[in-house]
Each structure stands twice: as C-alpha cells, then as structure tokens.
Structure 1
Amino acid sequence: MKKKWLAAIATLALGALVLTGCGKQKETTLTVGASSTPHAEILKHVQPQLKKEGVNLKIKTFQDYVLPNKELASGDLDANYFQHKPFLDNWNKKNHGTLVSAGNVHLEPIGFYSKKYKKLSDLPNGATILVSNNVADYGRVLQILKDAGLITLKPGTKIESANFNDIQTNKKNLKFKTDLEPKLMTQFYKRGEGDAVVINANYAVQAGLNPKKDSIALEKNSSPYANLIAVQKKNKNNPAIKKLVKALQSKSTQQWINKHYNGGVVAVYPNGK
C-alpha cells in the first residue's frame, strides 16, 4: 500500500513538472540597432507585445548611418532599423554586403526647410540649397524640386539612383552644397545658413521640428523610400524577426505611428497588415 501511495505521488509530481515545462515559453533575445528618433521609439512601443510572444527585444541606438550596417554585417546585431532600400542597396554595393530587407515599416518624408522663404517657388535665382552627403537621398531631393517645377531631369533618369548631374534644366540656377553630415542639417537650418536646408524627418523630429508644419516642401507619401528592418540574408525567415516585423506592421502600431508623429513619420501600411 505504501509503495502504491509513493508511486502515485511521484506520478503527480512528474505531471506537474511536465505541465510547468509546457507552459513556459522559451524566450529569444533579439538585438536591434536603430536611430534614436523615431526608430528606437517605435521599437519600444512594440516591446511589450513581443515580450508576450517570447521575444526579448533589446534596442541599441546609433547617431549615425554608418555603424548600424557594419555591426549587423559582423553579427553584433540581429537586425537594424534606420534606412530605406536605396540606402541599403548602395551600402551593399560599396561594401560587398548581402544585407536584405525583412519588411517595410514607415516613411520619414524628407523636407526642405528655410528661415528666409515660405515656399520653394519663393527661392531667388542662384539660391543655395544645403543637402547632406547621403547620396541615397539625392533622388528624393530632385523629385521634390521636379514636382515643384523648378527642375527637369534628363530622359531615362531613375529617381532611386539619381544625382545632381542628372538635372537637365535648372530654372532658377539653384546651387547645391552636398558635403554635409545628415545629423548636422538641423543646426545649419537653425542658424539660417543657406537659402534652404534639406533635412531627414528623423533628425527634424529629434530637433523639435514638425515636418508637416515647419517645412516649406515635403516628400509625398507615395515615395518608395520606406524605412525597413534589415537583416543578414540567412536570418530573413528567423521566427523572432518575423514576429518583430509583424508587430511593426500591425494595424495598432501603424495607427500609433501616424497619431504619435502627426504626419512627421508616416505609416507604410495605414490599415495594418
């Protein structure tokens, strides 16, 4: 009788251990590099959701556009979130890289800002426009000027790879200063340098600017320059990466992006996926 009683207790204990093991979800740590604004903020928004799904999201912030891809390629990061496809393609080409996109999340509309003029058409003949040294953004700048009727481009020019040599007609003889660091553009604007300054939305928002209200011209929402989650090719189908992208593209997150940044950052999937 005593043996039967002990055997029953052992069975119950084993059952409890099995149930406890089944109920415990194995947690995966995912380290993602990101620009502080808005990328890191958006990642923080989805942290609780991912935690429930067994993903411990760690965010490493960067203040430049160079280190995030280097650390991703070396394996120090599992993913990064700061760039658009033309930038990624250009980086891969220059560095013999094989990084890929795991999915688009949002658009940061690049804009023209000026302390002197209210709209692009007000720019005087020979005006100087300050543009960063980020070559991947040149097509975006040219598209805005083209839409404003200030320039025309040579036939066959592809916006994604365009540069200032592709201008065919420059109606106001605009001059472009292009040897400037992206993170310094807001400082040039605040000091009133140049006739207009081109600023990426993440730096504009970080400096307290509202791209929708403070810019004199803003990139259209239909732009192909959506910011994405970049990963090593071998990790594109990693379950934790897929959960991250799904959370960022969800309806609730995309609505939060549009509301939180008031047009300064635009959701790629307005209705979620």
Structure 2
Amino acid sequence: MRLEQEQQSRFGFAESVRCGKSQRFEQPPASESPSPSPSPEVTLKVGAAPVPHAEILEFIKPALKAQGVNLEVVILDDEGQLNPALKDGQIDANYFQHVPYLDSVKGEKGYDFVVGAKVHVEPIGFYSNKHKSKDELPDGAKIGIPNNPSNEYRALVLLQQQGLIKLKDGLTTYEATPKDIVDNPKKLTFVEADSATLPRALPDLDGAIINTNLVLEAKIDPKTALFREDANSPYANIITIRKGDENREEIKKLNAALTTPEVKKFIEDKYGVAVVPAF
C-alpha cells in the first residue's frame, strides 16, 4: 500500500511537471522589457544675424525642442565672424548670408562649406532722407553702397535696373565696383562703406542702398524705400554648414523646420515686404 502511494505520488508529481503545474521548479514570469529610454537631447548652435534671422530661429525653437533638438542661437557683434566661427567649430551652422556672398569669400578664406535650406530673401532697397523719388536725385548725387563684393554688385545692378547707371557687359561673377560703370547720366558719386554703417550715414548722403536686415535693425520702415529688388532675387539667405555635416539628423531637422508653412506665414505676417520666403 505504501509502495502504491509512493508510486502515485511520484507519478502525480511527474505529471504535474509535464503539465507545467509544479510550483517548485516553475521559473518566475519574465518581467516586461523596460521601455527604451528617450534619446538624449542634442544641442545645436546656430550663429545668426539679429534680424530677421535670429527671430526666425527663435520661432522654430519649440518645434525643434519637440524633436529632441535644443536650438541655441548665437549672435556675434561682428557678423563677419560667423563664417570663421563655423570653420573653427564654435557653431554648428550659420544663417546670415546668401550664396553669392558665400561664393565670394569661401575661395579666398578656404571655407569648405555647403548650403542647407534656402529660407528667405531680403530685397535690398534704396533709402533717402532727402528725396521722395529717384527722379529727384540731383546731378552729382552722393550714393552709399555696400563695400563687400557681392552686395556691391547687387547694389549696382539695382541702380542699373532703375536706369540710373549702366554696367559693362560680361560681369558674371557677382562682383563689380563703380569702375565697371560705363554710363552714368547723372554723374552719381559713390561712397563705398561697410553695410552696417549705411543707415547711420543717410543724413550725409542723397541716398543709400541698404540690406533689409540692417533697415529693420535701424528701425527704418522698409516701405519707405524709393525702389527695391523684386522677389526674383538670387540672393536667398541660407543655412550654411561644414561639408560632411549635412547628414547629421539635427541639421536635417533644422532645415526642415525652417521651410514649413508655419514659418512662411510667420515671415509674411511679421515682415511684410521687407522679407520674402524663398521656399
């Protein structure tokens, strides 16, 4: 009888093992795999001109934050240092220049940069404290123009489009100076100056061609321009990055965030004729 009980006991135990009923040898239930921790936030430093570039970057900060990118906007006192800062790795990208300007300096300075998003055009305009129309400009009028190569060419082309001067044929490198003028009916004289000084110089000039970002910074109403570029300008302001960085995920997110319908509306609502979306 005892043997039978022992056999039953052994067989019962074996059956329970086969059926997975034994509590003695049962493995504890596997715990659920922990959910993967979120990717760490990446900081992206972008150098920019104050207006409108930095303001547009500030607008997209929340959208990038939601994608894990902490956008840090860097404004330097001298915009001319934004390309050296990019070259030296102090910033990850910059946003202040157009392609003709970049082309005019990168060969000279050895910049190995590539172009990211094309964001906006700032149509340059002719401003005057003394005259209400271009027809009022007297003979010998003193005209201020930017002294950096690409913007100087741009200013002279605008004057040519208005019939005030004529440049020699064959200028294809976005570079020209007053020496390239072949016809100047009003005998205009030109003051070549750093772009940033032109708004302050207006009282001493008959007029000046000024970049729109500088007009906005100087609190000049861009609608007061006597004439300006149209929206078909080749001078779209761009995101500039070091070659090889264009495939970084945070750079791709920056380019995408700057070319959304929301950014287009922000630019149109905030700046009107002064800044035109380029996408």
- So what's the TM-score if we normalise by structure 2? 0.87
From 23, 43, 52, give the equivalent of 2:66: 52
Give the Cα separation in 1 of the matches to 2:81 and 2:265: 30
Displacement of 1:65: 2.8
Is 2:234 aligned against 1:224?
yes
Is 2:199 aligned against 1:186?
yes
Is 2:257 aligned against 1:247?
yes
From 197, 210, 213, give the equivalent of 2:221: 210
From 265, 269, 272, give the equivalent of 2:275: 265
Contact 2:149 2:174 in 1 (8 A): no
Displacement of 1:188: 1.4
Contact 2:146 2:155 in 1 (8 A): no
From 128, 131, 141, give the equivalent of 2:142: 128
| Aligned residue identity for 1:116 | K
Give the Cα separation in 2 of the matches to 1:3 and 1:229: 64
List structure 1 runs of 4+ shifted beyond 4 angstroms: 1-5
Range with bigger deviation, 258-267 or 76-85: 258-267
Distance 1:128 1:26, change over 3 A: same
Displacement of 1:4: 5.6
| Aligned residue identity for 1:11 | S
**Residue aligning to 2:11:** none
Distance 1:53 1:172, change over 3 A: same
Displacement of 1:254: 1.3
Give the Cα separation in 1 of the matches to 2:164 and 2:253: 44
Give the Cα separation in 1 of the matches to 2:25 and 2:66: 43
| Aligned residue identity for 2:251 | I
Amino-acid identity (%): 37
Distance 1:171 1:56, change over 3 A: same
**Residue aligning to 2:248:** 238
Is 2:132 aligned against 1:118?
yes
* C-alpha distance after superposition, 1:176-195 (max 9, x if no partner): 110x2222221112xx1110
Equivalent position SS for 1:234: coil
> Structure 2, unaligned stretches of length 5 or more?
1-22
| Aligned residue identity for 2:210 | I
Q: Say what the alpha-carbon RMSD is for the aligned residues.
A: 1.7
Contact 2:83 2:94 in 1 (8 A): yes
Aligned residues: 257
Give the Cα separation in 2 of the matches to 1:147 and 1:260: 28
From 31, 34, 39, give the equivalent of 1:11: 31
| Aligned residue identity for 2:59 | H
Is 2:226 aligned against 1:199?
no
| Aligned residue identity for 2:191 | K
Distance 1:41 1:2, change over 3 A: farther
- So what's the TM-score if we normalise by structure 1? 0.89
> Structure 1, unaligned stretches of length 5 or more?
none
From 39, 51, 65, give the equivalent of 1:25: 39
Equivalent position SS for 1:177: strand
Displacement of 1:128: 0.6
Displacement of 1:161: 2.2
Give the Cα separation in 1 of the matches to 2:167 and 2:265: 36
Rg comparison, structure with higher value: 2
* C-alpha distance after superposition, 1:80-137 (max 9, x if no partner): 0000111111121221221121121101111111011112222111111012322220
| Aligned residue identity for 2:53 | H
Equivalent position SS for 1:249: coil
